[in-house]
Chain A
Amino acid sequence: MSEFDAIVVGAGPAGSSSAIKLASSGLNVLLVERADPPGSKNVSGGILWGNELAQIIPDWEKNAPLERYVLSKGTGLLTEDSLISIDFRSKKFEKNKTGYSVLRAKFDQFLANKAKASGATLVTGVTVDRVAVKDKKIIGVEQDGDVITSDVVILAEGANPRVAIDSGLRKPIGDRDVAIGIKEVIRLPEATINERFNLRGSQGYAGEYVLGFLPGGVKAGGFLYTNKDTISIGAVVNSADLRANNSTYSYNIMEQFVTHPFIAPYIEGGKVEEYSAHLVCEGGIRSVPKLSGDGYMIAGDSASLSFSNGLVIQGMNYAITSGIAAAETAIAAKSRNNYSADSLKSYDEKLASKYVLEDMKTFKGIEGVTWSNLMHKAVPKMAENIFFDLFYETGQPKRHLYEILLESTAGSGMTKSQLILEAYRAARRM
């Protein structure tokens, strides 16, 4: 007889969602989180996309600590001198809210407290060492030599899943699986933020940028999200590139981004309140490990369930969906009293039938595009050349766009055949 029906490791969106579902279905669940309070070790951007939380917290839009809703979604290319951007803002987002900026220190606490209120036993400030194994079956978790038993263990540890790795349930994280994320939270008066981003009330801006101005071979992206009275700004740097370019440091890239002439004015006069760094899942479907087995399931970032196509970065919605799916699987397994790999296999099936694995399969290989030289080196420079030529009055006769386009490829640093090949790949994968 196990002490708990389920032990959930990690009280982020995946773990807490799972625990809420399990506990409110009457299961005896232990939720363990190394941070005290939950969320204090987190470095998410972060925009929460979608409405997944409604499944477990119907009134979440009213009660969760949300900062602003995304009215305006920006995508931009930055070169040394220029910013080429699309700012899509729509009244449609006002009616159908699709994304909210959140500060995870508050948000994760809210979710963990919901789990506690639903009846889960929440333990914070303790790091689980590994899963406990007996007769080749996972029987709970191990910490400091003690074993706490449960029928099933749900690992939702985030992007650096030490328990899963140390227990041999997934391969160690490699350069291709993760990027390095750096984030600052900068305090500014609410009115200043509204003015700078052309927003009102709880309207918000979420922007992602290709940092096309970086010298050498390092590729990185930037993000900028508005909160109520802070701005979350950060860079996501390719870890394989960093390893290959010893003289480049991620914090310098972050500095170059926040001091860029067309980014710096957004945060001018603000006070840096947080500075943090963390791994970011960027490996796509290729990084996803075996999702379940005898007595365990892996959810959220621990299972590399995240999505990024250069236009949008999503992780929390995948985490919540997978956390709930793991809980549903555990609930069904309990009713059958069967926690074997076969019984838990329905977790994989659930994810495959939801958008989580569907998206990741559809966009298989997308990380090859988002981290391609085409996106980071050629496209920003070409775009700059095209727009500059289009709008700059030289006193000469005007030329066709096609001619400008052809010419701009010359300054991109890639040969024409490389460009065509990469552009074809990108078009196929996006």
Chain B
Amino acid sequence: MVLWHGPTPRVAMESSTSSGDIVALKMIVMMKQVPDAEEIFIDPVKYTLNRSQARGIINPSDENALEAALKIKEKEGGDITVISMGPPQAESAIIECMGRGADRGILITDRVFAAADTYATSLTLAAAVKKIGDFDIIFAGESTTDSGTGHVGPGVAEFLGIDQVTYTVDSRIESGMLTAERELEDGIEVVSTKPPVLVTVLINSNLPRRSRLRLKVDAIRKGVEKWDHDTLSLPVDWVGLKGSPTLVGALKIPEERKRESRPVKLEEIPALVDELVKKGIIKIGDDA
């Protein structure tokens, strides 16, 4: 295994040499199980999203985050821990990640975590990262398909007080530094930074590999660790709905206005334009 020569302040791990500052690269991937967007439909009466028939999948950009970590692991060695916060059934998504090559899976699951907003979620995940202990890089998908805020990755970095590199499409290790390409509106920005660092990965930035039978069988044998608020020593008031400052005032779907059409004669047009002006729908001015 190629060892990590980074200027990390981490204490030496079991694979360290006598110098005490060379340790195996430790990566964490944050993953969320989301309902498959193709199987969600809008309740025709209540206008809410019906997810009951949708199967759970790995959030698409989290697949890219895992793939980014796996590529680095292939080149540099090291190990990957996948953490996910969600209901017990999210375990299958973690097994899938381990089937692709992650070494360890942790499911952060507890009824008191339910209905957490991005603030409480970031806090909970940051607490989990702290409990894991040493790490070099945290990978996270840029945003989830079922909420789309993009808050959680950066939120975790803030709670941990570490650097973050967002919107990346590629990342690699170069002489102890993490070098990542950020896809921005006006081009690609190449950033190098010292670990520990949190990296958010854009959807479709790489081709996620499929899982392997061998690794999945091993993953099932190894199992997924389950952590609750006790494990994380988090007060109940800090997590879930209680720990969430976000208030949703209302959720509405604007009513579709019926539009009418009829054929008109050419000479009717001036009168129609006058009517549109009168109703304030269009404006005719010198600057028009």
Using a CB–CB cutoff of 8 Å, the interface residues on chain A facing chain B are: 3, 30, 32, 36-37, 40, 121, 123-126, 128, 141, 143-144, 146, 148
Q: Chain A residues with Cβ under 8 A from B55's Cβ?
A: 36-37, 40
Query: 8 pairs across A/B with beta carbons < 8 Å?
Result: A121-B217, A121-B221, A125-B216, A126-B213, A126-B216, A143-B212, A144-B213, A148-B214
A30-B217, A124-B92 given; 10 more Cβ-contact pairs under 8 Å: A36-B92, A36-B96, A40-B55, A121-B220, A123-B99, A123-B220, A126-B213, A126-B216, A144-B214, A148-B217
Whether A143 and B214, one on each chain, are in contact in the complex, defined by CB atoms closer than 8 angstroms, is yes
Whether A146 and B212, one on each chain, are in contact in the complex, defined by CB atoms closer than 8 angstroms, is yes
Interface of B is mostly: helix
Whether B212 and A126, one on each chain, are in contact in the complex, defined by CB atoms closer than 8 angstroms, is yes
Using a CB–CB cutoff of 8 Å, the interface residues on chain B facing chain A are: 55, 92, 96, 99, 210-214, 216-217, 220-221
Whether B214 and A125, one on each chain, are in contact in the complex, defined by CB atoms closer than 8 angstroms, is no
Q: Chain B residues with Cβ under 8 A from A124's Cβ?
A: 92
Q: Chain B residues with Cβ under 8 A from A40's Cβ?
A: 55
Across chains A and B, which 3 residue pairs bring their CB atoms closest together, nearest first? A146-B214, A143-B213, A126-B213
> Whole-angstrom distance from the CB of B70 to the nearest CB of chain A?
14
Whether A125 and B217, one on each chain, are in contact in the complex, defined by CB atoms closer than 8 angstroms, is no
> Whole-angstrom distance from the CB of B273 to the nearest CB of chain A?
42
Which of A126, A141, A148 is in CB contact (< 8 Å) with B99?
A: A126
Q: Chain A residues with Cβ under 8 A from B213's Cβ?
A: 32, 123, 126, 128, 141, 143-144, 146, 148
Q: Chain B residues with Cβ under 8 A from A32's Cβ?
A: 213
> Whole-angstrom distance from the CB of A272 to the nearest CB of chain B?
13
Inter-chain CA distance A141–B217, complex, in Å, is 13
Inter-chain CA distance A424–B221, complex, in Å, is 60
Q: Chain A residues with Cβ under 8 A from B92's Cβ?
A: 36, 124
> Whole-angstrom distance from the CB of A160 to the nearest CB of chain B?
19
> Whole-angstrom distance from the CB of A146 to the nearest CB of chain B?
4
- Report which residue of B55, B99, B214 has the largest number of chain A beta carbons within 10 angstroms of its beta carbon: B214
Q: A30-B217, A36-B55, A148-B217 are in contact. Are A125 and B212 (CB under 8 A)?
A: no
| A124 (CB) vs chain B CBs: closest residue | B92
Q: Chain A residues with Cβ under 8 A from B96's Cβ?
A: 36, 125
Inter-chain CA distance A300–B217, complex, in Å, is 25
Q: Chain B residues with Cβ under 8 A from A125's Cβ?
A: 96, 99, 210-211, 216
> Whole-angstrom distance from the CB of B212 to the nearest CB of chain A?
5
Q: Chain B residues with Cβ under 8 A from A128's Cβ?
A: 213
Inter-chain CA distance A171–B248, complex, in Å, is 61
Q: Chain A residues with Cβ under 8 A from B212's Cβ?
A: 126, 143-144, 146
